[in-house]
Chains A and B, each alone.
Chain A
Amino acid sequence: MRPSLRHVTKSLRPARLSCRTSAAATQAIPDLQPSHHPSTRKLSTTPTRQHTPSSSSSVNETEVSHFSALASSWWDPYGPSKPLHLMNPLRHDFIQTCLSSSNPPQKTTNLRYLDVGCGGGIFAESAARLPSTASVTAIDPSPAILAVARAHARRDPSLVCGGGGSGKLVYLNETIESLALPEEAAPGEEEQRYDVVSLFEVVEHVDYPAAFLDRVGEFVRPGGWLVLSTIARTWTSWVTTNLVAEDILGVVPKGTHDWAKYVNEAELREYFAQKGGMWGTPTVRGVVYVPGLGWREVRGSEKVGNYFFGVQRVG
C-alpha cells in the first residue's frame, strides 16, 4: 500500500481520497482536480444493515433512464457498447483465475451465477453458454434493457429453451434489494445461494456502494466468489473515461460515467477487510483499453483506471 494513500477509517464512513495521491500517472498534473466533481467518495451513507426490499433500493433513477435509452444499441458490437463486448472474454478469464485460486478448492462445474445489473446480457449470455454453468440468474432494474436482453437471448437456442425459462438463463426485472434472498442451506440440503455473483461495471453507477455490497454479499454462498469490475477514481480515469471517451472520441455515450461515483481498489479492499472475516484476500487485475487493440491486462493499472476485483466468501 502506498504511504500517501490516506486510509479509510471505518468502512461506512466516507472515504476521503484525493485523486492526486491515487496514481503515479497523475503526478505530472499535481493539485488539479476536476472542479465540478467532489474529491471524496462515500462508500455508503448511514449504516443500514436491515434491508427491507420494497422500501430501499440501490438504484439511481437517472442511471436507469440513461441506460434504458441505450437499450437499442446494446448488442451492436460496433456501437456504443463495443468496449463492453471486447471486455467480456477478460471477465471469464478473471473468474477462472479466481475460481482456480479458491482456498479451500471449490467445484468448477455446475456453477450457479447471479449477474447483478446485467444490462443487455453480454456477460449473462456468455456465462450461460459455458458448459461449466448450471444456471444464470440475471437481474436489472431497467425494463427497457431487459426487453432487449430477452429478445436477444431468443436468437440463441442454447440459451432459451421453449421460451418458458427452462434454459440456463433467466432474466428478472429486480433490484438486489427486491430479489428474494435464498435461505441458508440446512445440512444435507442443496445450497441455493450462488457460486459466482458478478457486478460488472455496476458499483460506479450505485449511489451507496457499501450498503449495496452488504446486500450483494449475502447472495454469495460460503466458498463462492463475488467478482466485479469498475474504474478507479483518478485523474487519469477522469481524462480517459469522461473527457476522452465520452466528450472527445465519443466511443462511450455521453453521461455514461459519473466520475465522482468511481470506486478505488483500495477503498474496496478496505471495505471487504472490515467485514469480520467474511471475505478472503481480494484478487485484483488492472486492464487498459487500447483503441484498435482492445483490452490489455496491465499490472498495477488497477490504481489508475479499469480493474477487476474478486473476493471469495470464506465466512
Chain B
Amino acid sequence: MDGLFRRGGAYVCRRCTQSLQKQQRRAYSAAAQPYLYDVVCVGGGPAGLSLLTALRTNPVTAHLRVALVEAQDLAKIKSWKLPPDRFSNRCSSLTPSSALFLDQIGAWKHLERDRFQAYQEMQVWDGVTGARIEFDWAPGSAPAAGTTIAYMNENLNLTSGLLKRLEELGGVSVFDNARVERIAYGEETEELDLREWPVVHLSGGQQLSARLLVGADGANSPVRSFAGIEARGWDYNRHGVVATLELEGEGWGRGLTKIAYQRFLPTGPVAMLPLPGNYSTLVWSTTPSNASLLKSLSAKDFIAMVNAAFRLSPTDLAYMHTQESGQAEEYSWRLEHTPFDHQAVPQTVVGVQEGSIASFPLKLRHADTYVAERVALVGDAAHTIHPLAGQGLNQGQGDVQSLAKTIEYAVSHGQDIGVTMSLEPYVSERYAANHVLLGVCDKLHKLYSVGSGPLVPLRSLGLTAVNALGPLKSLLMNQAAGNGIRVF
C-alpha cells in the first residue's frame, strides 16, 4: 500500500515532524521519537476506512496528517475478487442513508455494482403464531428518495471499495500487517509536552503519536481498553449461522423487486436476504448446539434445514435438530403435511456455496462513553448489536459521519481535535440514538425467544396491528431505510 503514503503534513507542524522523523531514522531501534499524527485510526474495517475517507475527502480536514493501523494485508483486501457466481458469507445491509454517505465521500462508485442487491420489501413473521407483517410500499406511501429499504452487500466489497477510494485520495500513512503491541502516553521534552498524547507502538517497531486516537478496532477494542472505557452488555447464548445460498429463481418479484425475509423462531430469528441473481445470504440466530449441528451437516441436509426453517412448525424443526443426519428426507416428508403459502416464504433453496457455512457468537455491548481525552471509539468498538435488524454496520457509518462532522467543526474553529471538549458533540449526537436501537433489537430478540405463554398471543397481536396500520408501517419502513424520520 505504498501508494497511500503521503509526504507532507500541515496541521502538525511540518518542521517538527520532519525533524522528529529524521531523528527516528537516525536511531530507529533505540529510544526513537514517535511520528506525529493528527489522527491515528486503529482498525481498517468499514468504520475506520470510512472515517479516513471522509476526512480526506472534506477540504476542511484534508490537511490533517492521518495514519491507519491494520493487522491484515490491505493490498489483498483492495484487490479482492470473486467470480460472479460466488459471494462472501459476510454480508451486511446498507441503508440508503449509509449509501448516501458513502456516495458523498466518493466511495460508492468504487463498489462492484453487480455484487450488491437492493431490496424493496420485507416479510417478517412469527414462527409460532404465523402473525405477519408485510413491509411493502402501499400505493402513494413510497418516499421520494426511492423504495429501496436497504442494499445487501458483501463486507469485502465495501472495504475493497473504500481502499480504492483512499488510494485515489492518497495522503494516508498506512501501517498494515501491523500488530498493536501496546499503547502508552507520550513524553515531555524540552520543546514539547506530549504526556497526554497516546503513542501506538507497532510490532514493526514504529511509534505513532496521536492527537486523536480512533478506535475502529472491533468489539475487543484495544483502544477502548487503553482509554479505560468499560463496555457493558451480555451474551445472548446464541450463534449467528451464515451461508451463501442458491435459490431456484430470482425471487417472487422476478428480479424486479427483491424481498428480505425474516421469521422469528423461539431459538432466534432466521433471515434470508437477497443477493444478485438467484443468490441469497442467510443469517440464522440459534442456540450454540443447533449452530454446531448445522455446520456439521451435509450440503443436502443443511439446505433442507434452511427450507424447513422458513416453512415447518417450530416443533418439527426442533425434532430435526436432534437428527445427526437425514434431514433432507425428513423435510420432504414433513413438508407434505404442512400447509403454507409458497409466495409468502422465500423461494426454495437448491444449493449452498461450499465453505460458506460459518457461525459467530451474538452479543450486546455498549461502551460507557465513546470518547476520552484524545480517544474516540466508532463502530463495533463502541457497540455490538444483535444482527436481527441489520443495523450494525449502519450504526458504525452513522458514528463515522458524526465524528467526521465533529472533527470538521473543531478544525474550522481552531479547536484541538483531540480534547474531550471538541469530541463531545459526537457523543451527544450518537450515544442516545445507538442506545435506543441496541435496546429495541435486544427487546425484539427477547420477545420472540418465548415459545409459549401469555407473551405469544400478545406479540402476534402487536405484529398484526402494525400490519393493519398503514401509516405506522410506513413510518417503520422509513426508519429501516434511514429516510430521515427518526423514531429512535
Contact = CB atoms under 8 A, between A and B. Distances in A.
Which among A133, A158, A162, A167 has the greatest number of chain B C-beta atoms within 10 A? A158
Contacts of A89: 409, 413, 415
B86 interface: no
A129 interface: yes
Given A85-B421, A162-B15, A92 B193 contact: no
Interface in B397-426: 409, 411-416, 419-421
B415 A158 contact: no
A125 B414 contact: yes
B260 interface: no
Contact of A161 (B11, B15, B196, B420): B15
B11 A92 contact: no
A163 B191 contact: yes
B295 interface: no
A151 B15 contact: no
A88 B416 CA distance: 12
B63 interface: yes
Contacts of A77: 419-421
B309 interface: no
17 contacts: A77-B420, A88-B413, A129-B416, A130-B414, A133-B414, A155-B192, A155-B196, A155-B197, A156-B211, A157-B12, A157-B13, A157-B36, A161-B16, A162-B19, A162-B191, A163-B190, A163-B192
A129 B411 CA distance: 8
Which among A130, A156, A161, A162 has the greatest number of chain B C-beta atoms within 10 A? A156
A154 interface: yes
A167 B13 contact: yes
Contacts of A167: 13
A261 B409 CA distance: 34
A154 B192 contact: yes
A156 B416 contact: yes
Which among B10, B16, B211 has the greatest number of chain A C-beta atoms within 10 A? B16
Q: Would you list the 5 A-B pairs with minimal beta carbon distance, nearest first?
A: A126-B414, A163-B191, A89-B413, A129-B414, A77-B421
Contacts of A128: 414
Q: Main SS of the interface on chain B? A: loop
A160 interface: yes
Interface in B1-55: 10-13, 15-17, 19, 36
B194 interface: yes
Which among B12, B191, B413, B421 has the greatest number of chain A C-beta atoms within 10 A? B413
A131 interface: yes
A92 B413 contact: yes
Contact of A157 (B16, B190, B411): B16
B13 A158 contact: yes
A133 B412 CA distance: 12
Contact of B414 (A85, A127, A154, A162): A127
B424 to A, nearest CB: 9
A282 B412 CA distance: 24
A100 B145 CA distance: 36
Which among B10, B12, B191 has the greatest number of chain A C-beta atoms within 10 A? B191
Interface string B199-212: 00000000000010
Nearest to A153: B193
Nearest to A126: B414
A129 B415 contact: yes
Nearest to B421: A77
A120 to B, nearest CB: 14
Contacts of B15: 161-162, 166
Interface string A120-147: 0000011111110100000000000000
B143 to A, nearest CB: 32
Contacts of A161: 13, 15-16
Contact of A126 (B10, B194, B415): B415
A154 B186 CA distance: 13
A304 B420 CA distance: 32
Contacts of B409: 89
B299 to A, nearest CB: 59
Contact of B191 (A88, A92, A160): A160
Interface in B413-445: 413-416, 419-421
A162 to B, nearest CB: 6
A77 B420 CA distance: 9
A130 B409 CA distance: 12
Contacts of B16: 157-158, 161-162
Given A77-B421, A126-B415, A157-B36, 19 more contacts: A88-B413, A89-B413, A126-B413, A126-B414, A129-B11, A130-B412, A131-B63, A151-B193, A155-B193, A155-B197, A157-B12, A157-B192, A158-B11, A161-B13, A162-B16, A162-B19, A163-B190, A166-B15, A167-B13
Contact of A131 (B10, B36, B196, B419): B10
B449 to A, nearest CB: 40
